[in-house]
Amino acid sequence: MQSSDTTKYIIHSKVNADGVIERPDIVGAIFGQTEGLLGSDLDLRDLQKTGRIGRIEVIVNTKGGKTRGNIHIPSSLDRIETSILAASLETIDRVGPCTAKIEVSQIEDVRATKRKHIIDRAKYILTDMFDENLPESQEIAEEVRQSVRIEEMQYYGKNKIPCGPNVLDSDAIVVVEGRADVLNLLRYGIKNTICVGGTNVPPEVAELTKKKTVTAFTDGDRGGKLIIKELLQVADIDYVARAPDGKSVEDLVQREIVRSLRQKVPVEQAIDAYSIEGESSGKTPATAKKGRLPRVAKRKERVVKPDVSRTASKTKDLAEPKERKESRHRPERRQSPARRSYPPEASRFKKHSEDLTGTLGARLLDNEDKVISETPVRDLVNALKESEENIKSVVFDGVITQRILDIASSRGIENLVGVKRGNITKNPTSVKVYTAQGA
C-alpha cells in the first residue's frame, strides 16, 4: 500500500472501452499487460509490494454500452521512471472482452500542490491572524511617530500659521490647505510646507511666496479649485499640483504624494484652466518681484546648513528659471488659434490643436488621425503608459517635455504636437516633434 507521505507524483489517465467493463477488469488489465514489459525493476506488482507505487484508483461510468473512466496511480519513483511507467499504460489495448484505449492526461506533482497550499495558507495567516492580534509594540511605535511629527511642526508669522521646519531656509516651498496636510507631508519627510487655512490666504503666506519657488498642492475637490483661484490672484506661485479627484492631501500615501507633485503644471497653464487671465490682482511684474531674493545667493547661503540639504534635494524639481516666473505677468502668454503657424507636414493636426487650445487637454490619435481617447494633460503620462491602443500621434495643449518624448518613443508614437518645447536634451529620430511656432 502506498503511503501518502512518500507520494511524489500522481499519474492521471483516461480509459475508453467499447463495451461494459468494471474496475477489477481495468486493474487486472494494467497488471497483466504490463507484466515483464519493462523488466523486473519496473514491474508493477513488485513496485506496489515495496510501496513505490500506491493503490490504483479507478472510477468508471457506463452509458449506451460504452465505458468511460479515469485511472489515478500514485508514484514515489523519480520523474524518469514515472514517465516510463505512464507511457506503458498506453500500450494496453484490451480490457476484459472489450477493445479499449488508455491515454495519459496529466502527471501531477504532489509537492507543487503542497507548496501552493503552503503559500495560500501563509498569506491568510499573515493578513488575517496577525491583524487580529496587533502587537502592542506597533501601537506604541505609531504613537511615538505621531508625536515626533507634531513636534517637527512649527508656526510662521504673527498668526501662527502651521508649517514645516524648513520653510524659511528652503528656496522652494509647497503651499497646502490645512494643518493636517502639513502633518501628512511631514510624515513622509517633506518639511518645506506651509498651509493657508482655507480660501482666505494669510498676508504672511502671500508675502512669503514672492521670495520662493512655490508649488500650490490642494485637494482634488471644488474647495481645492477655489483655493488655487485665490492663490493665483493674491500670491506669487509657480506650479499647481492637485490630489487625485475626490481625495484630500491629508489622506494620501507617499506614492500618491510623489505622483501628484511630479504631475504639477506650470502656473501659465493653470491661469488658463481656472479662468484667471485678465483679472486684476493688484500686482505688476515689478511689485510681484519685490523682496524676492536672488536664487543664486540663496543657494550659497544654504550650503552652510547641512540639515537643510536633504529637504532641498526632495524639492529640487520645484525650482524654475527666473524667466518663466516673469512670463506670466506679460499680457500675451500664448498665441490665439488664428495666429498659430504650422509647418506643412504638421498641418493635418491643426484642427485638433485649435480644438484643444485653453483646455489643458490631450488627444491620442490612430494612424488615420482619428481620436482614440482624450485625457487631461496632467494625466497624459499615465494614459500613454496604460493605453493598449495603437497610438500614432499625440496632440495636447501643453509643453513637450523630455519625459513625454521618451515615453512616446518607447510606445512607437510617430508625432508629438504641443504648444511649445520644454528642455529637451535627447530627441529620438523615430518621433517627430511639432509646436505651434514650428517644428
Domain assignment present for residue 130? The answer is: no
Mean pLDDT of 83-96: 91
Q: What was the pLDDT predicted at 123?
A: 86
191 and 245 assigned to the same domain: yes
pLDDT for residue 185 is more than 80:
yes
Q: What was the pLDDT predicted at 71?
A: 94
56 and 17 assigned to the same domain: yes
Distances (CA, A) of 246 to 181, 251, 359: 15, 11, 21
Q: What was the pLDDT predicted at 151?
A: 63
Greater pLDDT, 342 or 285: 342
Tens digit of each residue's pLDDT (9 = 90 or more) over 147-173: 656 667 888 888 889 999 888 888 899
Greater pLDDT, 274 or 30: 30
Tens digit of each residue's pLDDT (9 = 90 or more) over 313-360: 444 444 444 444 444 444 334 444 445 566 777 788 888 888 888 888
233 and 378 assigned to the same domain: no
Q: What was the pLDDT predicted at 340?
A: 59
H/E element holding 334? none
User: Among residues 309, 327, 345, which one ends one of the domains?
Assistant: 327
Residue 172 contacts residue 241 (beta carbons within 8 Å): no
180 and 322 assigned to the same domain: yes
Tens digit of each residue's pLDDT (9 = 90 or more) over 385-413: 888 889 999 999 888 888 898 889 888 99
Q: What was the pLDDT predicted at 67?
A: 92
Cell of 360: 489643458
Mean pLDDT of 362-388: 89
The CA R_g of the chain, rounded to the nearest whole Å, is: 36
Give the three-class secondary structure for 325.
Answer: helix
Mean of the per-residue pLDDT values for the chain? 79
Q: What was the pLDDT predicted at 147?
A: 62
411 and 320 assigned to the same domain: no
211 and 303 assigned to the same domain: yes
Q: What was the pLDDT predicted at 135?
A: 56
Q: What was the pLDDT predicted at 386?
A: 86
Domain ranges, residue 427: 337-435
Cell of 68: 468511460
187 and 310 assigned to the same domain: yes
Residue 175 is part of a domain; what is its CATH number? 3.40.1360.10
